[in-house]
Every structure is written in structure tokens, then in C-alpha cells.
Amino acid sequence: MSEFNDPFREKYGETVIFRPSMTTILELRRKTGQWLRARYPPGEYSSKDDINNILNDYVQHHFKNILSIIDNCSSYETLIFFLEQYEKTANISSNQRDDRLTTEESLLWSKHGPIIRKSLRFLCDTIVIRNQPNRSTQISVSELQLEELIIHSEEAIRLSVGSDATYHNEEGDIQIKILHPERDAIYSIRFEQSTNVSEYENRIHAAVNEFQKHPDIHKIFRSAKNVEVYLDDKFKQVRGFTLSDVFKLFELLILKSQRTGETIQSFERDRLVEVIGELLSLSSNQVNILLRGLTISECTLGDAPNYPWDHRRHNKLHGKPFYEINQANSNRIVTFSTERLKECHFELFSMLRESKLPAEWFTRELNNSVQKYSQAISKDFENYIVEELRNLHAPKIFCSRFSKKIGSQNRYFRIPNQIGDLDILAYLPHEELLVIGECKVSKVPNDPRTFDSELRKFHDYQHQLNRKLEWCKQNISNIEQYLWLNEHFPNDIRIKFVSPILITYYPSFATAHVNGFQCVSITELLSGLVAKQGWAFPPILPIIE
């Protein structure tokens, strides 16, 4: 356990977390207010350039203060303290999901919890990245330094995420007001409209709840079978270990934690290499290669910036649960927490789904296998949607995937290469409706700064789906003639309407920006169909003969 004493405690259920005292918050607010007003006089600012400059300078000011403090107190003990806090916040989030918080606690945690958790993870990462390998003396850390680190990091993350979410991606009015020194606050920011962002966050929360009704869907993205089939042999050949070894290691360490009750574990690095070698029957050289792809140290970022919002930083740290840090006695210590193991277990599967690997493992020889794995996941996702639609009792839906042709083995109508696969072709007889669906295994953006790249991808998807829609409309008579030959469709098919739809895994922020059709998550699709007992997603377009 940490040897630090909490100057202020905040309690959620039975879990108590360290929080800065109001005295420290007000004093730091006074100092940062002086700094900001010296550069930008009190008053209202509404031009895009002024607002960008103010927000960027203010975030950078917080960030520089974080580095200044960490460079004086980066140590194993400081890392353990923040890891303990991170574990506690995971427990609070779990209790919230299980309705073990009061209504007041749950509302408070929904408002502040995500920023607190982002901040703690950022601090853990940065403590290790800024650690000095040759430091050989015990570092003393004051409670005031801990409080200031939390305040600076939470404010920097809140501002960077908030400004991007509401300004860079929303065409609306924004105004920032720098207040006079006699006011308690330093500034106020007014966003006239950020409805798309708030609606998107609500959809994410609803999707998480709906996923509980469909537990099998997550198995698609964590398929041990697909890892074995598409990745393990090539990994063994190129790297000396398999990805199944990696996931087995995570699971064994999580089980050990659950058995012993130790949520944070630490090993001297050489000893950890021995332990993993024994668990997985690997040589020390193979374990060292494995650990390089799973470990954050002072060398991990290289030339990438350490800003919490930078995608290059995110890509280099994603999926790495182990922290390697220098201890006072010059030994290299590797530390990890149960929560980070669970998160990185999920993050590694997410990376594979996107055809990515930790850079320390990647070689061109592995690229083809990773691509095949990703394609298999996409097909499994499409098959899952097809089965779920077929299993609905109301509305009755006949459905299948089609690649290259529509019909039977001997009688078929060919789909042109430029059209590509029809991920979902569904027929609703009572509505005489043909649904043309495109499926995409979307992920939840890491923060609003990824919204722009997501929008660009979805505009490409829009063109793909529109192309397939037009082809189907032009070939309705052929589709009617051959579709019934597929075993999953009825003999009598009459199509008077068509409806395009884009189906994703998680809800997409792009929904509000895609024109011509609906973009819904798998849970939104199924709940909408059940609620209406029919097709619930416009447009429904008539076939003009």
C-alpha cells in the first residue's frame, strides 16, 4: 500500500479516493489565473483564432507544470500511488454499472469519473516515461505535489477534450470569457451547441447497457480460435511466441491477482523474465521480445510527443499493461495492475481488429496474417448480424450475406467486382422491402480528436453503400428472380421498396453527418426492430418501374 496520507477523501459507495483539497484547488486557480490574465486581458473572446490560442496556451501551461513536478518526483513509489488510485476508480465504475452507488454518487461519477480516470492513467504513463534510469536516491514526494499533479492533469485533459468535442467538430457559436481576478473562476466557456456530442455520449451509454442482452457479440472480437487459426503459427515462426501465449499470460496474472487479492504486482525485471519463461515455456530472449511489446518505459515514446491527446502517443502506449521503472537501489522494476491487464487484454484485441500490432512486434512478415485475422473478424460480425435478424419473430426477416453472386450454386446472378460483397441483404415480406446493409466494425473513438478521421472514413462508407444501393435498384427484377434460390429466402419475393443502412458495432459519432441513410449500431438495430415490430430506419425508397 502507498505510504502517502490523503489530505482529502472522496467516497463513492465503500471506495475512497484521494482528491485535492479545496485550499490547494483555490491556490492553484489563483496562480494559473494570474498567468492567463497576464497574456490575455479579462474580457470576451469569440474569434476562432483567439479561442484556439487561449485554449492551446492554457493547456500547454498545465502540461508544462505537470512535467516540472514529475521530473522532480518520478519514482516507483509515486507510480504505485497513482496505480492504486486507478484501481480504486475501476472499482467505482464497476459499482456504478452494478447499481451499487447512490443516485447522487452515480451522477457525480458520470460527470467527473471519466476525466479522473484519464488523468490517472496519463500520470502513470508520464511518471514512467520521464523516469531517469540513473537516479539512485530515494525520491520524496509531498502531498501537495500529488494534489497539484491531479489538478493540472485533469484540467488539461478536460480542456483539450472539451474544446475539441464542441468546437473543432461542431459548426456552432462559441465564446470564451476571461474573468476578472475578484471572481472565483478564471474563465467561462459557452458553447451554443454541442448536441451531437452529448447525444453520441448518451448512445454509447445505452449501447453498453444493451450489450448485456447480447453477451455473445463480444466473443466475436475476442475469439481464441481466430487467433490460433490466423496468427499463432506465423508469430511463433517470426517472434518465437504466439499471441495465444500473450493472452494466456494476461489471464494467468489476472487469476493470480484474484486469488491473492493483490491488485498491484511488482517484479524485478530479470525475475519476471524467469517467471514468464516458466509459465509459457519460452526462452529468456523470446520473453524479452514479448515484453518489449507490452511494456512502457522511458524509451517507449521515442520521438512521439507526450501530450495526452496526441494520437502518436496513444498508438505507442496502447495495449501495454507493464510499467518498467528504475528503483532507488538501481534495480529495474516491472509493475502492473489488475485493471490495466484487463484493459490491455481488450486493447490488444481491438488493435488486431484494426489490423494493428504493437510497433515492437510488427514485421512485414506478420502483416498478411494480421490482415486475414481482421477480415475474419469482419465476416464473423456480419454473420452475427445475419443470425440475429433471422432469429427475430417480429418482424419476420429473411437475410443472408452475398459474395460475387446471388442465387444457388448452379443458378445465380453475378455481382460485379466493382460493387463488392453485399454484407447484408434482407427481405421483409410484409413490407415488400429489400434492405441493403453495409457492416463496419467501428470502435469508440479514444477522444473527440479522432472524430474527424472517423468522419472521413464514414464518407467513404457512404459512397460504398450508395453504389450498392443504386446497383440493387437497377437490378431488382434479377434479384427477385434469383434471391428465392437461396435457402434462407422464401419462394415468393416481391420487392416494392428498398432501404439502405450502415450497421456498426458501437454507435458512431458520424451518424449526424452521414446523408441518405441511417447509421446505427447492432444494438440500436435490434432494439429498433423489436420496438416497431417492423423496419424502423428510413429512408424507405419506392422502386420506380
Question: Residue 450 is inside which H or E element, if any?
Answer: none
Three-state SS at 406: strand
Alpha-carbon gap, residue 81 to 79, rounded angstroms: 5
Identify the pLDDT of residue 446: 53
Q: Are 500 and 424 in contact (CB under 8 A)?
A: no
Query: Tens digits of per-residue pLDDT, 226-259?
Result: 999 999 999 999 999 999 999 999 999 999 999 9
Ramachandran assignment for 266, one of left (phi > 0), alpha (psi -120 to 50 degrees), beta (any other): beta
Q: Is residue 144 packed enough to be buried (19+ CB in 10 Å), middle (13-18) or exposed (0-12)?
A: middle
- Continuous segment of H or E residues that includes residue 63: helix 48-73
Report pLDDT for 3: 42
Question: CA-based angle 215:322:301, to the nearest 5?
Answer: 110
Residue 535 carries which DSSP code?
-
Asked if residue 80 lies in contact with residue 260, where contact means CB atoms within 8 angstroms, the answer is no
**Distance separating alpha carbons of residues 293 and 25, to the nearest angstrom:** 38
Q: What is the SS3 assignment for 519?
A: strand
Nearest Cα residue to 294 out of 348, 248, 368: 348
- Measured between alpha carbons, how far apart are the two ends of the chain, in Å? 75
User: pTM above 0.85?
Assistant: yes
The 10s digit of each residue's pLDDT in 454-501 is 778 888 899 999 999 999 999 999 999 999 999 999 999 999 999 999
pLDDT in tens, 123-132: 999 999 998 7
Supply φ then ψ for residue 71, to 5 degrees. -65, -20
Q: DSSP 3-state assignment of 169?
A: coil
> Rounded to an integer, what distance in angstroms lies between the CA atom of residue 86 and that of residue 337?
9
H-state helical runs in 74-165: 76-97, 103-129, 143-163
DSSP annotation of 231 reads I
In angstroms, the CA 523 to CA 507 distance is 9
Place of cell 521530473: 71
d(CA 334, CA 290): 14
pLDDT of residue 135: 56
Q: Per-residue pLDDT for the chain (545 aa), expressed as one digit of tens each?
A: 344 444 568 999 999 999 999 999 999 999 998 999 999 999 988 887 888 788 888 888 999 999 999 998 888 999 999 999 999 999 999 999 899 999 999 999 988 999 999 999 999 999 999 987 665 445 678 999 999 999 999 998 888 765 554 444 444 556 788 888 876 677 776 544 445 666 766 787 777 778 777 878 888 888 899 999 999 999 999 999 999 999 999 999 999 999 999 999 999 999 999 999 999 999 999 999 999 999 999 999 887 777 776 777 888 999 999 999 987 666 799 999 999 999 999 999 999 998 999 999 999 999 999 999 999 999 999 999 999 999 999 899 999 999 999 999 899 999 999 999 999 999 999 999 999 999 998 766 555 556 667 778 888 899 999 999 999 999 999 999 999 999 999 999 999 999 999 999 988 877 777 788 999 999 999 999 999 999 999 999 999 76
pLDDT at 327 (0 to 100):
77
